[in-house]
Amino acid sequence: MGFERVVSLQGMLFLLIVIGVFAKRKSILPEESNKVLTDFLINIILPCNIINSFRAELKIEVLINFVRIFLLAFGIQIFAIIINNFLYRNQSEERQKVLKYATVISNAGFMGMAVVEGVFGMAGAMYASISLISQRALLWSAGLAYFTKANTKKELFKKILTHPCLVSVYIGLILMIFQIPLPDFLGRTIRSIGNTTTPVSMILIGLILGEIKDLKNFVTKTVMFYTTIRLVGLPLIVFLVGKFFGFDEILIGVQILITGMPAASTTAILAGKYNGDVEFATKCILVSSALSMITIPIWCLILKI
């Protein structure tokens, strides 16, 4: 994909977000639409997209790349957890919850899959789904622990292993490894639903941003420091590590885009539920989301996509 097409993709994503903001501001969708769309996206659309991405010919290089991108993704997540202990010591406890969570957990599950598929196609979406396994696991463990404590290990593992997106990875792997063909009508249905990942996820982000009433004083030093870590620092680590170990360009590219996603929309939701700084969380989401529209094309230019 040429750089011009990447910029075109970003323009499309931006317009979809604007549509979401417009729909929220004009009350076109009801108040509970955010939760309904989020549940539908996580439980139906993304699983279909993931299963469809695995419907490809099995090659040994693909399995090797699965291991490589999983290790790369897991490594950068652990690195983020470690640096969290040092980066935000001068912040209040309420803000530390937000910053630590948003450093480990990004919006890759929604926005990342859409961007990666747009840039690298279904092969990229397949690798992205493997990459996101570690983040989804950490979402229910280390990520949630920044706001509250998990109940029991049994409950924790159950949430991780039965997450709809992980279940779809299991199904996709079985289809790929055993080369099981799906009936045409079923394959078309899964593909059609999966193809709505980009518009639904971007409009959902717009709906979330549309709830913000006051846009003044959003760009602060702390927010910009976090945004730089999220959009530049962590992807740069992935780039250097990937180049050092000689990983395939598509693996490096996919993981950089996944790592360079903005703050997760769940950051503000959890901040509100567990006594975090909700206003500050919203600022991190808005600023990092806006600036990602600039940094993602730049990363694509660096990667010579």
- Look up residue 2 and give its amino acid: G
Task: Give phi and psi for 214, each to the nearest 5.
Answer: -110, 115
DSSP assignment string, 89-140 = TTS-HHHHHHHHHHHH-BSIIIIIHHHHHHHHHHHHHHHHHHHHHHHHHHII
SS (H, E, C) 56-67: CCCCHHHHHHHH
pLDDT at 186 over 60: yes
Mean model confidence pLDDT for the chain: 83
Sign of CA dihedral 114, 116, 118, 122: negative
pLDDT category, 217, cuts 50, 70, 90? low
The pLDDT, as a whole number, for residue 214 is 63
Per-residue pLDDT at 65: 87
Quote the pLDDT of residue 227.
Answer: 95
9/240: higher pLDDT: 240
pLDDT score for 208: 75
Q: Report all structural domains of the chain as residue ranges with CATH numbers, in order of start.
A: 3-302 (1.20.1530.20)
Q: Which amino acid is at 176?
A: M
**For residue 150, is pLDDT > 60?**
no
Q: Is the pLDDT of residue 236 over 90?
A: yes
Q: How many CB atoms lie within 10 A of CB 185?
A: 8
Mean pLDDT lowest among 18-27, 81-90, 131-140, 225-234: 131-140
Question: Does residue 39 carry a pLDDT above 80?
Answer: yes
Q: Is 301 helix (H, G, I), strand (E, B) or coil?
A: helix
Split at pLDDT 50, 70, 90, the class of 33 is confident
Confidence of residue 23 (pLDDT cuts 50, 70, 90): very high
Look at residue 205 and give its three-state secondary structure: helix
pLDDT at 224 over 90: yes
The answer to whether 268 and 87 are in contact (CB under 8 A) is no
The pTM for the full model equals 0.77
Q: Which pLDDT score is estimated for 185?
A: 95
| C-alpha separations of 256 from 12, 144, 241, 249 in Å | 20, 24, 11, 10
Is the separation of the CB atoms in 122 and 56 below 8 Å?
yes
* DSSP string of 208-272, one letter each residue: HHTT----TT---HHHHHHHHIIIIIHHHHHHHHHHHTT--HHHHHHHHHHHT--B-THHHHHHH
Contact 259, 238 (CB under 8 A): yes
Q: What percent of the chain has pLDDT over 90?
A: 22
pLDDT score recorded for residue 61: 83
Q: Is the pLDDT of residue 1 over 70?
A: no
Q: How confident is the model at residue 153 (pLDDT cuts 50, 70, 90)?
A: low
Average pLDDT over residues 16-45: 86
The pLDDT tens digits of the residues spanning 89-121 come to: 898 888 888 899 899 988 887 778 778 888 888
State residue 152's pLDDT score. 66
Collapsing DSSP to helix, strand or coil, 149 comes out as: coil
Task: Kindly report which listed range (104-113, 165-174, 238-247) carries the lowest average pLDDT score.
Answer: 104-113
As a whole number of angstroms, the longest Cα–Cα distance in the chain is 58
CA–CA distance, 230 with 263 (Å, rounded to integer):
8
Q: What pLDDT band is residue 225 in, cutting at 50, 70 and 90?
A: very high
Which residues, 6+ apart, have CB-to-CB distance to 235 below 8 Å?
256, 257, 259, 260, 295, 299
Q: What is the pLDDT of residue 305?
A: 62
